[in-house]
Amino acid sequence: MRIIVQKFGGTSVATQDKRLLAIEHIKDAVKDGYHVVVVVSAMGRKGDPYATDTLLGLLDSAEHCAKREKDLLMSCGEIISAVVFSSLLTEKGYDNCVLTGAQAGILTNDDHSNAQIITVTPDRILKELEEGKVVIVAGFQGAAGNGDITTLGRGGSDTTATALGVALNAEVVDIFTDVDGIMTADPRIVDDAKKLRTVTYAEICNLAYSGAKVIHPRSVEIAMQKNIPVRVRSTMSKDPGTLIISQAENDRMEPRSFKDQVLTGITQTANITQLKVDCAPTGGNQLKVFKAMADNQISVDFISVTPTGVAFTVSNEDVEKAVGVLLDLGFQPEVLSNCAKVSAVGAGIAGVPGVMATILEALTAEGIEVLQSADSHTTIWCLVREEDMVKAVRALHRKFKLHA
Amino acid sequence: MRIIVQKFGGTSVATQDKRLLAIEHIKDAVKDGYHVVVVVSAMGRKGDPYATDTLLGLLDSAEHCAKREKDLLMSCGEIISAVVFSSLLTEKGYDNCVLTGAQAGILTNDDHSNAQIITVTPDRILKELEEGKVVIVAGFQGAAGNGDITTLGRGGSDTTATALGVALNAEVVDIFTDVDGIMTADPRIVDDAKKLRTVTYAEICNLAYSGAKVIHPRSVEIAMQKNIPVRVRSTMSKDPGTLIISQAENDRMEPRSFKDQVLTGITQTANITQLKVDCAPTGGNQLKVFKAMADNQISVDFISVTPTGVAFTVSNEDVEKAVGVLLDLGFQPEVLSNCAKVSAVGAGIAGVPGVMATILEALTAEGIEVLQSADSHTTIWCLVREEDMVKAVRALHRKFKLHA
């Protein structure tokens, strides 16, 4: 059985017009001989009566609602959306049925509001597919072992889609959204940013974590486990979007050399502040700093430890709290506000020497100072002043010929 | 464990003010030493965003929505209501949890939109009660053997409440609504109509079927199986309302003789039309008439069969269709429009001679013609002209001293 999973996000199912566009994609898949599993999010965004945030807004005192009960409430958003979608699909002549996350066999742990999928037992889905039905699964939800309804956290419908893709050994998982695919850079910053035909699982994870909020990294990690291809596509067009695949498959489809494309994309995150603390590691001082940040739920990034001190970044919102914590510890931090992180992502980085040199060359030529840097297998991060951020993204995009 | 089930209908949970009133009753029950199971309906009535009818209104083409999927959609109304209620109850300091019908152990057949409860396995409820929690159950729903969500039809939350009452061997089931209890007659018609302190299961069924829409007969029949007392009460007051109990219990609490009170209440239903057809039973003619009505989904009442013809009533809306059917069969029906049914209900009727005579005496004294009559163990029905209806109800109420 050739199976495709098609996930439609909140904006793709918000109105009747949008749902009709979504159904066109289902029709195409059926025509292509696929058995289709549809995953839907709740309808619309904040303000719409059946969107997740609106349902939570019904609670006069959200802080008094237990996480378990909140999950139950939120799960209704996707169920309502799925039934409305089902009704329209029936009208268009497609036999279908709706399954809740629990009915679809999605077993999770009981970490309410952020549950992890333990297993997917897709017997019911397979039975319905065999009967020729399109199966619509309410996204973002599952059930714990005791039957309690759980939700999978933000981006949860993406996770539902790829987890079902893995369990059903789907040929492909389509993530329909309101953009055409993954871009080499934010098109609002880089005029000639280009849609990527393919990216690897590792690259998309770094692109997503770094600010390109198109698909949830967690869902990609699940697809990666079984090499299930994922496509990020627009509901509004027939364009195949961006295909997310393994490194090996990508190398086969798109052989590349240092000369043409070592980088895949550039992303940026603003509103960052750098903190520096003069302190030797004696007496566990450096350890104390990071332990205090963790104890106060302050996320830190760009951690740099030297024999004379530590440096790290926090988001602008956390600065006041972080400085307070440091002062309480008896430290006098040096604060550099209004920084930004520029990320150069590319699976090619690892094997290619001189990428960092090229990055520095591009930035220096524009008079941009790199305040700090970090790197991983597939990504190089540079901390720059926020006023330099746009210039830096454009310079790297141009230098690495990502428009080409 | 002393258990009470308290059911709050749509209007009783529609607003924060109403929910606060409802919680007062839960507080009282806890103070009285009860473990409390709360059953809630969806919030509000048609027009409210999370009421059952509004959820169904989301479907652009309700006729294309399968019954199974409609049930899934409707079940969200009670779940949303239950979680909103839970949040407020937590704020007021009462540890609680929400269970869907399925989680509460309500197993039904798969007759979607009108499912019958097969069994209730209240293990989870008992576990939560033992932990000291108030258990809030989403009314109106259950699950079929395959895990599909079902709904119990109109009045379904009452059914949930009494079915849980039976399964938990509750001391009492409270049905909270917006009236003070069951009245001897409609107070809009009879000025001195009186709230009944008690009625029997059999009486309330006839009162309910006859037009006093306070509690669903099906739910009473369930309570009756195990003699679980049911109270119909107002959310807005501390009044104990009307207690619905067995005949034996009622006789013990309220011994009565013919002289004081043979009747319990008078109800009325307007908008009825009487049809008479001249036809001998030869050739299956009389049978044909009733079969044709059934085939056309026309409900008939007041059936009277004689050697020369048949008479029966239909609701005014069905008259045109019924007459058409009869003409098609070659009959020329005699049509008497604008009739009304007046029902005299009382468990005492069966054993007491002369009740019908007293009724006729009362009506004749007012110049009211009885067009037809019928009777059962606990009820006598009279068909009168609609213009006589109010006068008839008042006359019977007075004659049988129901105000006393």
Tell whether A100 is within 8 A of chain B (Cβ): yes
Structure tokens at A198: 């393919």
Tell whether A79 is within 8 A of chain B (Cβ): yes
pLDDT in tens, A20-44: 999 999 999 999 999 999 999 999 8
Give residue B258's pLDDT. Answer: 40
Is residue A132 pLDDT above 90, yes or no?
yes
Tell whether B93 is within 8 A of chain A (Cβ): no
| Annotated binding residue A331 | no
Give the C-alpha distances (Å, rounded to integers) separating A237 from A12, A178, A192, B217.
Answer: 12, 10, 20, 55
Q: Smallest Cβ distance to B58: which of A69, A84, A100?
A: A84
Q: Give me the amino acid identity at A374.
A: A
Say how far apart CA A392 and CA A344 lie, in whole Å.
Answer: 11
Tell whether B72 is within 8 A of chain A (Cβ): yes
Single out the residue of B357, B342, B352 nearest to residue B301, CA to CA.
Answer: B342
Structure tokens at B125: 């409820």
The nearest CA of chain B is from the CA of A62 a distance in Å of 7
pLDDT in tens, B228-258: 999 999 999 999 999 999 988 888 877 664 4
Give the C-alpha distances (Å, rounded to integers) separating A285 from A290, A294, A335.
Answer: 9, 15, 19
**Chain B contacts of A83, Cβ < 8 Å?**
58-59, 65, 69-70, 72-73
When scoring A16, A71, A73, A74 by the number of chain B Cβ atoms within 10 A, the one with the most, hence best to mutate, is: A73
DSSP letter for each residue of B370-395: --EEEE-SSEEEEEEEGGGHHHHHHH
Tell whether A50 is within 8 A of chain B (Cβ): yes
Q: Which stretch of DSSP H or E encloses residue A78?
A: helix A67-91
Say how far apart CA A266 and CA A261 lie, in whole Å.
Answer: 13
Give residue A377's pLDDT. Answer: 80
Is residue A195 pLDDT above 50, yes or no?
yes
Which residues on adjacent β-strands are paired with residue B384?
A: B340
Confidence band, pLDDT 50/70/90 cuts, at residue B204? confident
pLDDT in tens, A280-335: 878 788 888 999 999 998 989 888 888 888 999 999 999 999 999 999 999 999 99
Q: Do A60 and B149 touch (CB under 8 A)?
A: no
| Domain annotation for chain B: domains and CATH numbers | 3-178 (3.40.1160.10), 265-399 (3.30.2130.10)
Tell whether B62 is within 8 A of chain A (Cβ): yes
Single out the residue of A380, A4, A2, A22 nearest to residue A235, CA to CA.
Answer: A22
pLDDT in tens, B344-397: 998 778 767 788 889 999 999 999 999 998 888 888 999 999 999 999 999 999
Dihedral sign (CA A123, A127, A130, A133): negative
The nearest CA of chain A is from the CA of B155 a distance in Å of 22
Tell whether B15 is within 8 A of chain A (Cβ): no
The nearest CA of chain A is from the CA of B75 a distance in Å of 9
Edge-to-edge order in the sheet of strand B3-8: B96-99, B134-138, B35-40, B3-8, B172-177, B230-234, B242-245, B198-200
Mean pLDDT confidence for A216-238: 93
Q: Do B80 and A79 touch (CB under 8 A)?
A: no
* Residue A288: half-sphere exposure toward Cβ, Cα within 13 Å: 17
Dihedral sign (CA B290, B291, B292, B295): positive
Burial label for B353, CB within 10 Å (0-12, 13-18, 19+), is exposed
Say how far apart CA A356 and CA A376 lie, in whole Å.
Answer: 12
- Helix axis angle, B67-91 relative to A67-91, nearest 10°? 160
A253 φ/ψ angles, rounded to the nearest 5 degrees: -75, -35
Is residue B115 pLDDT above 50, yes or no?
yes
Structure tokens at A372: 């700090």
Which residues on adjacent β-strands are paired with residue A96?
A: A134
Is residue B126 pLDDT above 60, yes or no?
yes
Residue of A nearest to B77 (CA): A76
Tell whether B55 is within 8 A of chain A (Cβ): yes
Residue of A nearest to B86 (CA): A65
Residue of B nearest to A58 (CA): B84
Nearest 5 degrees, angle CA A251-CA A252-CA A257?
45
**Chain B contacts of A64, Cβ < 8 Å?**
87-88, 90-91
Single out the residue of B94, B117, B98, B116 nearest to residue B106, CA to CA.
Answer: B117
Structure tokens at B257: 């003789």
Which residues touch B309 (CB under 8 Å, ≥6 apart)? B276, B277, B278, B279, B280, B286
Q: Between the ranges A99-108, A247-256, B56-65, B145-154, where is the mean pLDDT highest?
A: A99-108
Residue of A nearest to B62 (CA): A87
Structure tokens at B376: 């059962």
Share of chain B above pLDDT 90, in %: 69
Q: Do A69 and B98 touch (CB under 8 A)?
A: yes
**Chain B contacts of A81, Cβ < 8 Å?**
none
Q: Smallest Cβ distance to B60: which of A16, A55, A58?
A: A16
Tell whether B61 is within 8 A of chain A (Cβ): yes
> Is residue A277 a contact partner of residue A303, using CB atoms and an 8 Å limit?
no
The nearest CA of chain B is from the CA of A172 a distance in Å of 27
Is residue A404 pLDDT above 90, yes or no?
no
The nearest CA of chain A is from the CA of B112 a distance in Å of 14
| Annotated binding residue A192 | no
Confidence band, pLDDT 50/70/90 cuts, at residue B210? low
Tell whether B287 is within 8 A of chain A (Cβ): no
Please tell me whether the interface predicted TM-score (ipTM) of this complex is above 0.90.
no
> Is residue B78 a contact partner of residue B161, using CB atoms and an 8 Å limit?
no
Is residue A351 pLDDT above 70, yes or no?
no
> Is residue B55 a contact partner of residue B44, using CB atoms and an 8 Å limit?
no
Residue B33, SS3?
coil
Edge-to-edge order in the sheet of strand A301-306: A301-306, A309-315, A265-278, A334-345, A379-385, A372-375
Give residue B259's pLDDT. Answer: 42
Single out the residue of B129, B190, B163, B126 nearest to residue B39, CA to CA.
Answer: B163
Is residue A107 pLDDT above 50, yes or no?
yes
Say how far apart CA B30 and CA B336 lie, in whole Å.
Answer: 56
Which residues on adjacent β-strands are paired with residue B274?
A: B313, B336
pLDDT in tens, B134-182: 999 999 999 999 999 999 987 789 999 999 999 999 999 999 988 888 9
Tell whether B47 is within 8 A of chain A (Cβ): no
Burial label for B125, CB within 10 Å (0-12, 13-18, 19+), is buried
Which residues touch A8 (CB under 8 Å, ≥6 apart)? A22, A38, A39, A40, A41, A85, A176, A235
pLDDT in tens, A251-260: 887 765 444 5
Say how far apart CA A338 and CA B206 lie, in whole Å.
Answer: 76
Say how far apart CA A203 and CA B104 lie, in whole Å.
Answer: 46
Q: Which residues of B are annotated as a binding site?
A: 7-10, 52, 78, 177-178, 188, 213-214
Give residue B217's pLDDT. Answer: 84
Confidence band, pLDDT 50/70/90 cuts, at residue B209? low
Q: Smallest Cβ distance to B59: which of A49, A69, A84?
A: A84
Residue of A nearest to B87 (CA): A65
Which stretch of A142-156, A338-352, B92-106, B288-302 has the lowest confidence by average pLDDT?
A: A338-352
Say how far apart CA A351 and CA B253 lie, in whole Å.
Answer: 91
What pairing do the DSSP bridges indicate for beta strands A149-151 and B96-99? unpaired
Give residue B165's pLDDT. Answer: 97
The helix, strand and coil proportions of chain B, stated in percent and rounded to the nearest 5, come to 35, 25, 35
Radius of gyration of chain B (CA): 23
> Is residue A275 a contact partner of residue A323, using CB atoms and an 8 Å limit?
yes
Give residue A256's pLDDT. Answer: 59
The nearest CA of chain A is from the CA of B65 a distance in Å of 4
> Is residue A311 a contact partner of residue A293, using CB atoms and an 8 Å limit?
no
The helix, strand and coil proportions of chain A, stated in percent and rounded to the nearest 5, come to 35, 25, 35
Q: Which residues of B are annotated as a binding site for substrate?
A: 52, 78
Which residues touch A135 (CB under 8 Å, ≥6 apart)? A36, A37, A38, A96, A97, A99, A104, A125, A128, A129
Higher-confidence residue of B179 and A96: namely A96
Share of chain B above pLDDT 70, in %: 96
Single out the residue of A380, A375, A346, A352 nearest to residue A247, CA to CA.
Answer: A346
**Chain B contacts of A56, Cβ < 8 Å?**
none
Q: Which stretch of DSSP H or E encloses residue B22?
A: helix B16-31
Give residue B211's pLDDT. Answer: 61
Here the contacts of B235-238 (C-beta below 8 Å, separation 24 or greater) are: B235/B8, B235/B12, B235/B18, B235/B21, B235/B22, B235/B25, B235/B176, B235/B177, B235/B178, B236/B21, B236/B178, B237/B180, B238/B28
Say how far apart CA B38 and CA B88 lie, in whole Å.
Answer: 13
Higher-confidence residue of A272 and B304: namely A272
Higher-confidence residue of B79 and B348: namely B79
Q: Smallest Cβ distance to A98: which of B69, B98, B103?
A: B69
Q: Between the ranges A193-197, B33-37, B210-214, where is the mean pLDDT highest?
A: B33-37
pLDDT in tens, B321-336: 999 999 999 999 999 9
Give residue B145's pLDDT. Answer: 95
> Is residue A373 a contact partner of residue A382, using CB atoms and an 8 Å limit?
yes
Burial label for A16, CB within 10 Å (0-12, 13-18, 19+), is exposed
Q: Smallest Cβ distance to A80: which of B73, B147, B148?
A: B73
Q: Smallest Cβ distance to B72: which of A59, A91, A98?
A: A98
Say how far apart CA A344 and CA A393 lie, in whole Å.
Answer: 9
Share of chain A above pLDDT 70, in %: 96
Give residue B286's pLDDT. Answer: 86
What pairing do the DSSP bridges indicate for beta strands A301-306 and A309-315? antiparallel
Share of chain A above pLDDT 90, in %: 70
Higher-confidence residue of A258 and A201: namely A201
Please name the residue that has the structure tokens 């009382």: B346
Mean pLDDT confidence for B47-53: 80
